[in-house]
Amino acid sequence: MMVVVALMTGLGLYFAQRNVAANVERSLQQDFQGQLSALDKLQELRHAALAERCRAFASKPRIHAALEDNALDLLYPSAKDELRDLMEGEKPAPEQSAQSLHARFYRFLDQAGAVLPPSKPAEVGELDEQTEGALALRELPQTQQIGYVWENSNRSDSAIDEIIAIPIFSSDTGEVISALVVGFKPFEVTGKRTGVEMRSGIWVNGQLHVPSFSAAAEAALSPELNNAIANSDRARNNFIVRVNATPELLFYKRLNPGSLFPPAYEICIYPLADSISRQHRLRWQIGGAGVLLLLGGFFASHLTAIRLSAPVEKLAMDSEMNRAHRRRAEAALVSTSEELKRSTRYSADASHQLKTPVTVLRAGLEGLLTREDFKPEVYEELSALLHQTHRLTGVIEDLLLLSRMDAGHLRIDAKPVNLSHLVDQWLDDLGALSDGRDIKIEREIPSELYVAGEERYTSLIVQNVLENAHKYNRPRGWIRARARQENEQVVLTISNSGPPIPRSAKEHIFERFHRDSTRSAISGHGLGLNLARELARLHGGDLRLVQSENDSTEFEVRFRASRASPNRGSMS
């Protein structure tokens, strides 16, 4: 469990860390992009300001006059006056030179786009031949052009200049007759705002120039950058480089898209060391927090487990006790069963032992009754005693039968029994009883209903139920016997009038030796229904009380229907 938890926590931490790392990266990129776009805006403004300034100078009438009135020799001298502000003005402090609009040099282009050589180079900013050549354009531009050139690239004090070419339109013809190309110190990015030293440089013509970089570092960076720029189809991109063995994020962006001048790229280099160390720190923090969390969780879960296990242990103890109870109960059951067996045996023995004296008793009484020298009261007494012995015999036989059943010794030799016939016989007998109660007997018994069973016991069942119906009847009451076949069963319903069985007694009527206390006046030994039910069940059927309300009590006996043919049954 703990392993799973640890695994899940580890996974969670891993993804959290990755997420955080991605966020850091994204925020870094956003920061960077934000800075760059701010820079773009700044550059744009700067270019606009520079261009506006240059355009104002280029529209000076003297310059136009020099160009339009065929006075090229007066061009630079005129420009010297006009562009004095641009070139001379206030010399900015070196650290602010990049932010100022102070021009380093200017040149005019002729109709073909070539540089018009100045008469006094010192006045217009001296340039080596190569740099001056780089100011030329294939043709005169219709719009302002931004470019970057290496100034004195073969010297140690080489620098990159930002150049703006402003077309000069003839006031006579409206056509471009010249262009003013002004060189400025390029705008430099400083990372002062972020607190991280972001360096910027310019890439032009396959050469990288980052002011704060050594020539070696520039040279090391150049091939990768050249490759990236050559293969880049986007205007802006970034990748990670290693400068002096520390990782840096490098962004590059085209400075002069669509310019007639060679493409130049702004290069921004952002040291990643700080960000990486921050990420490392964050990773450790997350990891540490995770471990602490895990440990805390472990202890918490342990405590919880102890709390939780208390009832479980109690449960185990209880169950142990339960088991002991069960064992005791089982032992009790075994002893009960043995007792039961013993009692069954006893009952059987007792029955046998009783049978003989009762038979002797009955024989003696019958013998006495045959004598004629007694008083009439004695005969009555004797016949009552004889009746009691008959009753005793019935009880003993019932008990014997029951004990045989209890012992499992009773075997049913099932044969088709004509139930209709059986019921008719018993009903006839009941009808013949003259006890003065005048009980009406109704029967709805289809003829030739055969059940599977032993005739003796089937008869006993029917007898017991019918006797019960008669016994608990009322004067001028009725007994109704109905039988029908239901699929594989034959259902015999015996109902009788008379006071209903009390609710409390209903559950006990099938118990052995049960006799309704309210009806104790009625003769019986309380074995009849029990015996009938046991026998019915033994025959694969059942006996149950259907209902006993008001003036009606109904029992239902189910027998297995016999599959034997009626012919055969009738023959038996």
- Which residues bind to other proteins, rule: CB under 8 A? 59-62, 64-66, 69-71, 74, 78, 170-173
Report DSSP state, residue 561: B
SS (H, E, C) 133-152: HHCCCCCCCCCCEEEEEEEC
Q: Where are the beta strands (DSSP E) in 505-565?
A: 542-549, 552-560
Report DSSP state, residue 556: E
What is the nearest approach in angstroms of other proteins to the Cβ of residue 45? 27
What is the nearest approach in angstroms of other proteins to the Cβ of residue 66? 6
Torsion of CA 176, 180, 185, 190, to 10 degrees: -30
Would you say 78 or 418 has its CB closer to other proteins? 78
What is the nearest approach in angstroms of other proteins to the Cβ of residue 73? 9
Would you say 66 or 427 has its CB closer to other proteins? 66
What is the nearest approach in angstroms of other proteins to the Cβ of residue 102? 25
Cβ–Cβ < 8 Å for 467, 528: yes
C-alpha–C-alpha distance, residues 187 and 276, integer Å:
29
What is the nearest approach in angstroms of other proteins to the Cβ of residue 23? 59
* Nearest alpha carbon to residue 131 among 113, 109, 111, 153: 153
What is the nearest approach in angstroms of other proteins to the Cβ of residue 172? 4
CA 219 to the chain's CA centroid: 59
C-alpha–C-alpha distance, residues 404 and 538, integer Å:
12
Would you say 64 or 199 has its CB closer to other proteins? 64
Would you say 111 or 222 has its CB closer to other proteins? 111
C-alpha–C-alpha distance, residues 566 and 563, integer Å:
9
Where do we find the tokens 């009808």?
431
What is the nearest approach in angstroms of other proteins to the Cβ of residue 87? 19
* Nearest alpha carbon to residue 205 among 164, 255, 249, 167: 255
Report DSSP state, residue 164: E
Would you say 172 or 339 has its CB closer to other proteins? 172
C-alpha–C-alpha distance, residues 284 and 294, integer Å:
15
What is the nearest approach in angstroms of other proteins to the Cβ of residue 69? 4
Would you say 64 or 209 has its CB closer to other proteins? 64
What is the nearest approach in angstroms of other proteins to the Cβ of residue 74? 5
What is the nearest approach in angstroms of other proteins to the Cβ of residue 59? 7
C-alpha–C-alpha distance, residues 28 and 273, integer Å:
12
SS (H, E, C) 172-213: CCCCEEEEEEEEECCCCCCHHHCCCCCEEEEEECCEEECCCC
What is the nearest approach in angstroms of other proteins to the Cβ of residue 261? 29
C-alpha–C-alpha distance, residues 210 and 269, integer Å:
9
Give every CB contact of residue 199 below 8 A, 6+ residues apart in sequence: 189, 191, 210, 211, 212, 213, 268, 269
Would you say 169 or 379 has its CB closer to other proteins? 169
Would you say 171 or 337 has its CB closer to other proteins? 171
Estimate the crossing angle of helix 419-432 against helix 455-471, to 10 degrees. Answer: 40
Would you say 175 or 349 has its CB closer to other proteins? 175
C-alpha–C-alpha distance, residues 429 and 128, integer Å:
153
* Nearest alpha carbon to residue 535 among 454, 474, 466: 454
Would you say 62 or 512 has its CB closer to other proteins? 62
Would you say 29 or 119 has its CB closer to other proteins? 119
